[in-house]
Structure 1
Amino acid sequence: MPSSVPPSTPQQPQRPAQPEKKRAGRDLRAAIGVGVGLGAVILASLFVVKAVFVGVIAVAVVVGLWELASRLDERKDIKVPLVPLAVGGAAMVVAGYARGAEGAWVAMALTSLAVLVWRMTEKPEGYLKDVTAGVFAAFYVPFLATFVAMMLTADDGPWRVFVFLLLTVVSDTGAYAIGWRFGKHKLAPRISPGKTREGLLGAVTFAMVAGALCMQLLIDDGQWWQGLLLGLAVAASATLGDLGESMIKRDLGIKDMGTLLPGHGGIMDRLDSLLPTAPVVWLLMVAFVGS
């Protein structure tokens, strides 16, 4: 009598699991589109009318201050006096453009004083932490941004600002590209787990090459070797600036400072590398080719 048990189906050999591809973690299409749009606005204002670009800096400063103040209030219950910060921050940028470093320092002092006085109109509890955070915000965002406005005052000011922006972007791009492809050794895992030593090497290499080309071709009386030093300094300051904001965001328990720029986060998430790099580039430009 034939067996009623059906013949067993031969098992197919299992395929080895494919390694998961690395992902960037953000919407690259949105990030590229927003980046191109911002770049067009910045370049158009930079090379057409200097005063318009100063206005762009002031707007970015005010929005950045609003983002920082909002996150401090939400996550730490720190109520930064935003009105004197916004008014003083915009005035700081204009003063830096019109009066140089002296004007920027005076505006910084007056803004800090305004923060202290404005906060006096509310209850005394939390006064010290609120005004401390306010003075920190005044230095971190508008004061550092004034160095971009001060760069602009030179005869070749637009090109100096262009080189500053380009080298910072090139440094970030080099760090991302090399770190994404070859990164194995963490740079600062407790602060920013995604950053690697290989990425830092990529940032330095990319920025130094771009710096040599830019100083030789775009800056009056610039030399290629000056560009190498400038690129090295930009890579270092941009990396430290990125790590600094990562430290702030880790303390606040957030991923991004805002959601204003799709694929990028907030304005402050784009200014993190630029703000500490601005005084470095301004100082080296003055040292190399004068003011």
Structure 2
Amino acid sequence: MPPPPPSPPQDPTPPGPGPGGGFGAHGSEPPAAPPAKKSAGRDLRAAIGVGVGLGAVVVAALFVVKAVFVGIVVVAVVVGLWELTSRLAERKQIQAPLVPLALGGTAMVIAGYVRGADGAWIAMALTVLAVLVWRMAKPPEDYLRDVTAAVFAAFYVPFLATFVVMMLAADDGPRRVLVFLLLTVISDTGAYAVGWRFGSHKLAPRISPGKTREGLAGAISFAMVAGALLMQYFVDGGRWWQGLLLGLAAAVSATLGDLGESMIKRDLGIKDMGTLLPGHGGIMDRLDSLLPTAPVVWLLLVAFVGQG
């Protein structure tokens, strides 16, 4: 049998980058992929629609019947507590009792509106006592862990929310609450707009990779301008320079609140606290910057223009 014909010579050029830096034997280079566009990571249409709808309901409640707005705060607090305790149970097996938290949180908000800070503190103390007793119905294992988480939840959600209704209790309460809401929203908007367009230096990459120093500067700038205008033309007895300080404080507290919630979610290994609000996540994902800003704005308004 004659020997088989010799194999054709192999191309000595290995696959991969060629001499010109391209791919293949002849240095041919595939077309470069277009640069990725920046994205907010959420459905902006849904987020804007939900935000406008919620804003309309809140503003209508503010200037029609104060009690309706108090009811909205109560609902937000109870839903927020449900989201937080549910995520703690799912991700960390922490059993923070929801029933005494929800009842105590409702009492805190109402007491804060009717009796001010003294009423809120008394309701907070009774809520903690109720949590301690309620948890005794279960085995003692992890008792300290569960009640500690519950006390944190009671302070973080309903107690901080009482400062919103304490603002509302003033004679010009609806205006004060609207200033608080506008400053927080404008701060968030400034952070997003400036950070999305110019952000390149990370603010806290280990906590919230999307936040930038440029975004923080935008939040502060937007909030200070808005604060100056609101205090000068919207709040009785207010001055523009007080608005600058108010805007600065609100932007910083809103940013810290957002970072604090991001820290909690990273610890739990989740992106959002819930799914109730399309484009936003859960109620707690919208309260993150509002809750810590409420006592700051309340305190500065009392210092600048009195209890009202």
User: Is there any run of 5+ residues in structure 2 with no aligned partner, and where?
Assistant: 1-27
Q: What is the aligned counterpart of 1:218 among 228, 234, 252?
A: 234
> 1:124-165, CA deviations, whole angstroms, 9 ceiling, x for partnerless residues?
111110000000000000000000000001111000000000
Q: CA deviation at 1:21?
A: 1.1
Q: How does 1:146-165 map to 2 (within 5 A)?
A: 146-165=162-181
Matching residue's letter, 1:113:
L
Secondary structure of the equivalent of 1:120?
helix
Partner of 1:199: 215
Q: How does 1:72-221 map to 2 (within 5 A)?
A: 72-221=88-237
CA distance in 2, matches of 1:169, 1:65: 22
Partner of 1:232: 248
Matching residue's letter, 2:169:
T
Secondary structure of the equivalent of 1:207?
helix
Partner of 2:51: 35
Matching residue's letter, 2:38:
K
Q: CA deviation at 1:17?
A: 3.5
Q: CA deviation at 1:16?
A: 4.5
Q: CA deviation at 1:14?
A: 6.3
Partner of 2:62: 46
Tell me which structure has the larger Cα radius of gyration.
2
Structure 1 residue 242 corresponds to structure 2 residue 258: yes
**Once the two structures are aligned, what percentage of the paired residues are identical?**
81
CA distance in 1, matches of 2:29, 2:119: 75
Q: CA deviation at 1:24?
A: 1.1
Matching residue's letter, 1:76:
K
Matching residue's letter, 1:18:
P
Q: How does 1:52-67 map to 2 (within 5 A)?
A: 52-67=68-83
Q: CA deviation at 1:23?
A: 1.0
Q: Which runs of 4+ in 1 moved over 6 A?
A: none
Matching residue's letter, 2:51:
G
Partner of 2:271: 255
CA distance in 2, matches of 1:200, 1:240: 10
Compute the TM-score of the two structures, normalised by the length of structure 1: 0.95
Partner of 2:22: none
Structure 1 residue 19 corresponds to structure 2 residue 45: no
Secondary structure of the equivalent of 2:137?
coil
Q: CA deviation at 1:18?
A: 2.4
Q: CA deviation at 1:20?
A: 1.5
> 1:4-39, CA deviations, whole angstroms, 9 ceiling, x for partnerless residues?
xxxxxxxx9965432211111100111011101101
Secondary structure of the equivalent of 1:187?
strand
User: Is there any run of 5+ residues in structure 1 with no aligned partner, and where?
Assistant: 1-11
CA distance in 2, matches of 1:85, 1:13: 62
Partner of 2:15: none
Q: What is the aligned counterpart of 1:68 among 59, 79, 84?
A: 84
CA distance in 1, matches of 2:37, 2:59: 36
CA distance in 2, matches of 1:85, 1:21: 44
Matching residue's letter, 1:200:
L
CA distance in 1, matches of 2:188, 2:235: 22
Q: What is the aligned counterpart of 1:264 among 280, 289, 298?
A: 280
CA distance in 1, matches of 2:112, 2:106: 10
> 1:221-243, CA deviations, whole angstroms, 9 ceiling, x for partnerless residues?
00000000000000000000000
**CA root-mean-square deviation:** 1.1
Partner of 1:9: none
Would the alpha carbon gap of residues 120 and 29 (structure 1) be closer, same or farther in structure 2, given more than 3 Å must change?
same
Q: CA deviation at 1:49?
A: 0.5
